[in-house]
Structure 1
Amino acid sequence: MLDLVADQRPENDFARMDYERDRKGPPEGFPKLPDIPGTRYTDAEFLRLEKEMMWDKAWLYAGHTDQVSKPGSWFLTRNSGVPIIVTRNLAGEVKAFYNTCQHRGAPLVTEDAGEARGFVCGYHGWSYTLDGKLTAVRDKRDFVEFDMSCRSLVQVRCELLGSLIFINRDSDAQPLMEHIGPMAAQLEQFELDKLRLVDSRSYEVDCNVKVLLDAFLEVYHLKSIHINTVDRFLDHRSMIVTLWPGGHSRMATPNRRPDWVDPGTVGMPEIPSITEFPAKNNVSYQIYPNFIMPPAPTGIPILQFWPIGTRRTRVVSSWLAPDHDPENPHPLWPTRLSNWERILYEDLQYAPQIQESLESPGFKGMPLNYQERRIYHWHEELDRRIGLNRVPEHARVEQVLGDWVQRD
């Protein structure tokens, strides 16, 4: 039997798929996964702890560097629950600040994006540089012992993964590249720093955010939800999973035919450095908690799932691609985006009804199988971030997957 714990190195991925296709049950030693308590999706106290200890301290995708392509350009993001300005300063660095004037809390910007030489509060005219320093105060003579150097905009941690901008409201957070750990080396092949932003759109769904996150961490649902789309070319029974520290993970599902190529992408520019495995299989990376990225040679969709209430979620879907010219896009992009949206709608369609069902007395918890182990891994990490001793006992998950996490 293939040792899946020790043998999760990239060079063994094809062998692991063969094992998964032919196995008669879960691998020897794989633990029985205790039920995920249903209260994790509905209990007010648990959801408050989740927001405070996980969402407010996580590395979260904010946008693409194309959105701040030159000094002075900026955009506003509210997905994390608070308004944050992302801008490029005169030195070319990407910075992030709370959209909050240090006088009386008024917003510095009210549009979604723009260009400026600095930020001026529309309420009382306080002015700030692109680095957040306060430079001018109206009627400064009327302030007693006023130290402008202490009134800079409050900065938000902001780091890049190639051309992808991530923010973190926790000033003590681990650096992003250290945080994603072993995944970082695998992502190098996709040349994320060279990919252009093709498209971005959002959808709002009436469900707890974890209902949708769970769905994108497994392919167990393909034969029910994607009968006429994804299930036609993906072999879900040969899917492999890699669990990494910090709740991150990777899932890879082979095509039913090894020589299959998406006909809607033929002739599109390709990422030259992509390796054979992700080029020939459907690989999906997850950066904890809400970033999903299934790369392909001709383009990379990225998805984020944002809680905008305890039972409402915003899904942001964007596409990145090599050699993309926004003024003259490849003619296949409209069809490709339409096909992607069709598949996405298939995943979103039942979410409101699922939310209704798991709020009913008929739902006590989720018994997960081996194929769904990424979901359990995600929930284990959530409890660790909250603090195992702080999670209410009725909502707690048992920590059982430690031996199945790849640490290098």
Structure 2
Amino acid sequence: MLDLVADQKPENDFARMDYERDRKGPPEGFPKFPDIPGSRYTDKEFLALEKEMMWDKAWLYAGHVDQIPRPGTWFLTRNPGAPIIVTRTLKGEVKAFFNTCQHRGAPLVAEDSGEGRGFVCGYHGWSYTLEGKLTAVRDKRDFVDLDLSCRSLKEVRCELLGSLIFVNQDPEAQPLMEHIGPMAAQLEQYDLENLRLVDSRSYEVDCNVKILLDAFLEVYHIKSIHVNTVDRFLDHRSMIVTLWPNGHSRMATPNRRPDWVDPGTVGMPVIPSITEFPAKNNVSYQIYPNFVMPPAPSGVPLLQFWPLGPKRTRVVSTWIAPDHDAENPHPLWETRLNNWERILYEDLQYAPQIQESLESPGFKGMPLNYQERRIYHWHEELDRRIGLNIVPEKARVEQVLGDWVQRD
């Protein structure tokens, strides 16, 4: 039997798919999952801990560098829960700040995007540079010993993954590239630095954010939900999974026919550095907690799942691609985006009914299977980030997957 723990290097991925297709049960030694408590999706105490200890301290996708093409351009994101300005300074650096004046907390910007040489609070006129330094205060004579150098905007950690901008509200957070660990080397082949922004749209759904996240961490559901779309060409029984530290993971699902090519992408520019395995299979990366990226040779969708409350979620779907001309896009993009949205809706339309159902007395917990191990891995990481001794006992997840995590 193929050693699925030690033998997860990229050159062995095809062999791992063969093993998955032919196996008669979970691999030897794979642990039985204790049920995931249903209260993790509904309990107010647990959800408050989740927000404070995980969401407010995680690396979260904020946007694409094409949104700030020139020095002085900026955009505002509210998805992380706090309003954050992302800007390109006059030196060309990408920086992020809370959209909060250091006088009385008024917002510095009200629009979703803009351009200027700095920020001026619309309430009392305090002025800041693009680097966040306070430079002017109206009627400064009326303040006693006001030190402008101590009143700079509160900066938010901001780092790039190619052309993708990530932010983290925790100033002590591990650097992004170290945090994603072994995934970083695999992502190099996608030339993310040179992929351009194609499209971005959002959807709001009445469900807990984890309901939708769960759906994008497995393909166990496709024969029920995607009967007339992806189930027609994906071989879900041959799907392979790689679990990485810090909750990150990868899933790869082969096509039913090895020579199958999406006819809606033929002739589109492709990423020249992409390797054989992701070019011929359907790979999906997850950067913990809410960023899902299933790249294809001619374009990369970026999905983010944002909690708007205990029972409300925003899903943001963004596409980036090689050699994209925003003013003269490839003629296949309109159809491609429409087809993608159709598949996305198949997942979204069922989520409110799941929310209603799991709130009933009939739902106590989830007995996950081997195919759904990315979901269990996600929940294990959530408890580690909250603190294993802090998670209420009734909502706790037992840590059982340690030996199945690839650490290099």
Range into which the TM-score falls when normalised by the shorter chain = over 0.9
* Pairing of 1:287-302 with structure 2 (within 5 A): 287-302=287-302
Matched, 1:406 2:398: no
Amino acid at match of 1:118: G
The Cα of 1:31 is off from its aligned counterpart by 0.4
CA deviation string 1:261-315 (max 9, x = no partner): 0000000000000000000000000000000000000000000000010110000
The Cα of 1:163 is off from its aligned counterpart by 0.2
* Pairing of 1:5-154 with structure 2 (within 5 A): 5-154=5-154
C-alpha distance in 2, partners of 1:205/1:89? 36
C-alpha distance in 2, partners of 1:294/1:350? 21
Matched, 1:269 2:269: yes
For structure 2, list consecutive stretches of 5 or more residues without a partner in the other structure: none
Amino acid at match of 1:320: I
The Cα of 1:66 is off from its aligned counterpart by 0.2
Secondary structure at 2:241 match in 1: strand
C-alpha distance in 2, partners of 1:2/1:27? 9
The Cα of 1:152 is off from its aligned counterpart by 0.4
1:365 matched to which residue of 2? 365
The Cα of 1:346 is off from its aligned counterpart by 0.2
* Pairing of 1:371-390 with structure 2 (within 5 A): 371-390=371-390
The Cα of 1:57 is off from its aligned counterpart by 0.1
Secondary structure at 1:318 match in 2: strand
2:342 matched to which residue of 1? 342
C-alpha distance in 2, partners of 1:113/1:399? 43
C-alpha distance in 1, partners of 2:113/2:67? 8
C-alpha distance in 2, partners of 1:247/1:355? 24
C-alpha distance in 2, partners of 1:61/1:333? 23
The Cα of 1:19 is off from its aligned counterpart by 0.2
2:174 matched to which residue of 1? 174
The Cα of 1:332 is off from its aligned counterpart by 0.3
Percent of aligned pairs sharing the same letter:
88
Amino acid at match of 1:162: G
CA deviation string 1:170-211 (max 9, x = no partner): 000000000000000000000000000000000000000000
Secondary structure at 1:250 match in 2: strand
CA deviation string 1:70-122 (max 9, x = no partner): 10000000001110000000110000000000111110000000111100001
Secondary structure at 1:11 match in 2: helix
The Cα of 1:158 is off from its aligned counterpart by 0.1
The Cα of 1:243 is off from its aligned counterpart by 0.2
For structure 1, list consecutive stretches of 5 or more residues without a partner in the other structure: none
Secondary structure at 2:56 match in 1: helix
Q: What's the TM-score, normalizing by structure 1?
A: 1.00
Amino acid at match of 1:147: D
The Cα of 1:231 is off from its aligned counterpart by 0.3
Amino acid at match of 2:173: A
Matched, 1:187 2:192: no
The Cα of 1:337 is off from its aligned counterpart by 0.2
2:208 matched to which residue of 1? 208
Question: Structure 1 residue runs of 4+, over 2 Å off?
Answer: none
CA deviation string 1:136-179 (max 9, x = no partner): 11111111111000000000000000000000000000000000
1:397 matched to which residue of 2? 397
* Pairing of 1:312-327 with structure 2 (within 5 A): 312-327=312-327
1:224 matched to which residue of 2? 224
Q: Please provide the CA RMSD for this pair.
A: 0.4
C-alpha distance in 2, partners of 1:386/1:106? 31
Secondary structure at 1:330 match in 2: coil
2:155 matched to which residue of 1? 155
C-alpha distance in 2, partners of 1:380/1:145? 50
C-alpha distance in 2, partners of 1:9/1:379? 25
C-alpha distance in 2, partners of 1:388/1:147? 43
The Cα of 1:386 is off from its aligned counterpart by 0.3
Q: When the two structures are aligned, how many residues end up with a matched partner?
A: 408
